[in-house]
Structure 1
Amino acid sequence: MKLHQLRALVSIHETGSLQDASQVLHLTQSALSRAIKELENELGITLLVRSNKGMTLTEYGQRMLGHARQALESVRRARQEIEDMKGLVVSEITIGVTPVTALLQSLKHTLLSFQQSYPNATLKVLEMRPAQLLQHLRDGLLDFALTSQVPVNAVGLDWQPLCRIPGVVVVRKDHPLRNVRSLRLLQQAHWISVDPLTDSQSQFNQLFEGSALGRPRKVFECTAMNLAIKMLIDSDAVMIMSQPALGHDLVGLSDMSKHLQKIDIQEPVPDYSVNLVCVNRSYLTKTAGQLFAHLHEQLAGKPLLI
């Protein structure tokens, strides 16, 4: 199994065709076909098949793709680690955040300080939902992540708990159900979930499961946070969000608390568990490891928002 074979597999999957992958990798189509064929012969399986949509992965290919990405990312980080040790500091660090953790005050200050200390390092911050972060970590697309949810299966990941942020149930100011005190009375309302409904660990699902209530039937799944909040303000929908976010400008509003209000229900509302997570800290480059440690130091026990 060779690196050029793994690059070929990843590139063909990402571009969807031999022709486009050959342009990306600056190789001939015959060279790419030969690399994939050699890898398939070595493994004794079929990784790619042609279809009317181009080149698609088989079940074996889908499984192999994650390992290929991790292997290539490991090689990239190894090269960066050597450059770091030589004092060149040309690292490219990619971290993931959720909409909740993106608001952490110390995160902003730590990233600004890091950029000043390491001006030659390239820093990328990607925002996505918790489940997406974990998949990107396992695929080797992130160095580490600052997430707001602990999954059912955290096997193979290094978790560092930092703090907890209260969750609240919110509606628009003049919502007809704004004064109810029981979650049961909200079951028939329209709800908005900013996490996939299939995500059993989302605050939305945990809210009803923890209260021994069935999930509402009228649920609009919208993972675009700004759009979800705008719809919440202009409708009779109900949503769960982090309590401190109520007082911040997320959608061009000077203060969301002027448009939204918390419903004081008697049932417990799940917190957001803030954690730093990576596959293995020993795999991080020196520079990425320093940023990880600095974030841990600055954020542990400090649920402060921008």
Structure 2
Amino acid sequence: MKLHQLRALVCIHETGSLQDASHVLHLTQSALSRAMKELENELGVTLLVRSNKGMSLTEHGQRMLTHARQALESVRRARQEIEDMKGLTVSEVTLGVTPVTALLPPLQQTLLRFQQTYPNAALKVLEMRPAQLLQHLRDGLLDFALTSQVPSHAVGLDWQPLCRIPGSVAVRKDHPLRHVRSLRLLQQAQWISVDPVADSQSQFNQLFAGSALGRPSKVFECTAMNLALKMLIESDAVMVVSESALGPCWAGMTDMANYLHTLGLQEAVPDFSVNVVCVNQAYLTRTASLLFGQLQASFA
């Protein structure tokens, strides 16, 4: 199994055709076809099939794609690490965050200190939902991530707990159900979920599962946090929010606590579990490892 074969597999998948992949990789189509055939012969499976829509991956190809991306990213980071040690390149660190963890003061303070201490480091922060973060980690697209949800299946990832953020059920200040104390009385209300409704590990689903209640039938799925909060303020919707989301400077408001009311429910509302996660700490570049350690220390 050779790197050029893995690059070919990834590029063909991303472009959708041998012709486009050949232009990107500056190789002939016959060379790409030969590379893929050699890889398929070595593995004993078919990785790609041709259709009227172009080239697509088989089930075996999909599994191989994940490993190919990880291998290529690992090689890229290894080269960067050596070049960094030789003083020839600018370090790059890519950190993933969720809308909840992005609001945490220790994260903001750590990033500011890191930039001041290592001004030549290229720092990228990408915001996405917890499930997306984990997939990006497995695909090798992130150095590490600060997530607010522990999935039921976290095999192959290195998890380090940092803190817990209390969760609340919130409505707008003058909501007609603002005095409700029972979750059962909210089952017929319109809910907003910032995670996919099918995500069983989301705080929204955990709230009802932990209270032995069925999920509400009226759920608006909106993974855009700013939009979800603005709709919460301007409608009769109900939503699970973190304590950090009720602070200042969110969704264009000076202080969300001025616009939202948290319900004093009898049922327990799930906390948001904040964890820093990577594939393997030993694989982090020197610069990424420094930021990783600073982030852990800031929550200690």
Q: Secondary structure at the match of 1:179?
A: coil
Cα distance in 1, alignment partners of residues 53 and 200 from structure 2: 32
Map of 2:182 onto structure 1? 182
Cα distance in 2, alignment partners of residues 240 and 73 from structure 1: 36
Equivalent residues, number: 300
Map of 1:303 onto structure 2? none
Map of 2:170 onto structure 1? 170
Comparing 112-121 with 154-163, greater Cα deviation is found at: 112-121
Aligned residues of 1:89 and 1:118 also touching (Cα < 8 A): no
TM-score normalised over the length of structure 2: 0.96
Structure 1 residue runs of 5 or longer lacking an equivalent are: 301-306
Comparing 103-112 with 60-69, greater Cα deviation is found at: 103-112
1:148-227 to structure 2, matched below 5 A, reads: 148-227=148-227
Aligned residues of 2:187 and 2:215 also touching (Cα < 8 A): yes
Comparing 226-235 with 62-71, greater Cα deviation is found at: 226-235
Structure 1 residue 200, shift from structure 2 partner: 1.0
Q: Deviations over 1:97-138 (max 9, x none)?
A: 000000111211211222222233221111111111111111
Q: Secondary structure at the match of 1:162?
A: strand
* AA matched with 1:125: V
Q: Secondary structure at the match of 1:65?
A: helix
Map of 1:279 onto structure 2? 279
Cα distance in 1, alignment partners of residues 215 and 60 from structure 2: 36
Aligned residues of 1:98 and 1:148 also touching (Cα < 8 A): yes
Cα distance in 2, alignment partners of residues 244 and 115 from structure 1: 24
Q: Deviations over 1:41-88 (max 9, x none)?
A: 211111111223221111000000000011001101111121232244
Map of 2:297 onto structure 1? 297
* AA matched with 1:111: L
- Large movers: runs of 4+ above 3 Å: none
* AA matched with 2:31: A
Cα distance in 1, alignment partners of residues 118 and 89 from structure 2: 7
Q: Secondary structure at the match of 1:50?
A: strand
Map of 2:104 onto structure 1? 104
Structure 1 residue 26, shift from structure 2 partner: 2.3
1:126 equivalenced with 2:126 (yes/no)? yes
Aligned residues of 1:89 and 1:120 also touching (Cα < 8 A): no
Map of 1:240 onto structure 2? 240
Q: 1:165 to 1:36 in 2, by over 3 A?
A: same
Q: Secondary structure at the match of 1:169?
A: strand
Cα distance in 2, alignment partners of residues 88 and 275 from structure 1: 33
Cα distance in 2, alignment partners of residues 299 and 20 from structure 1: 47
Q: Deviations over 1:178-229 (max 9, x none)?
A: 1100111001101111001121111001101111111111111111111111
Structure 1 residue 144, shift from structure 2 partner: 0.5
Structure 1 residue 271, shift from structure 2 partner: 0.5
Structure 2 residue runs of 5 or longer lacking an equivalent are: none
Percent identity, please. 80
What is the alpha-carbon root mean square deviation over aligned residues?
1.3
Aligned residues of 2:104 and 2:244 also touching (Cα < 8 A): no
Q: Deviations over 1:136-174 (max 9, x none)?
A: 111111110000011111221111101000111011111
Aligned residues of 1:203 and 1:272 also touching (Cα < 8 A): yes
1:263 equivalenced with 2:263 (yes/no)? yes
Q: Secondary structure at the match of 1:249?
A: strand
1:51 equivalenced with 2:36 (yes/no)? no
Q: Secondary structure at the match of 1:254?
A: strand
Structure 1 residue 287, shift from structure 2 partner: 0.8
* AA matched with 2:75: V
Cα distance in 2, alignment partners of residues 256 and 204 from structure 1: 20
Aligned residues of 1:89 and 1:121 also touching (Cα < 8 A): no
* AA matched with 1:159: W
Aligned residues of 2:182 and 2:266 also touching (Cα < 8 A): yes
Cα distance in 2, alignment partners of residues 218 and 22 from structure 1: 48
* AA matched with 1:242: S
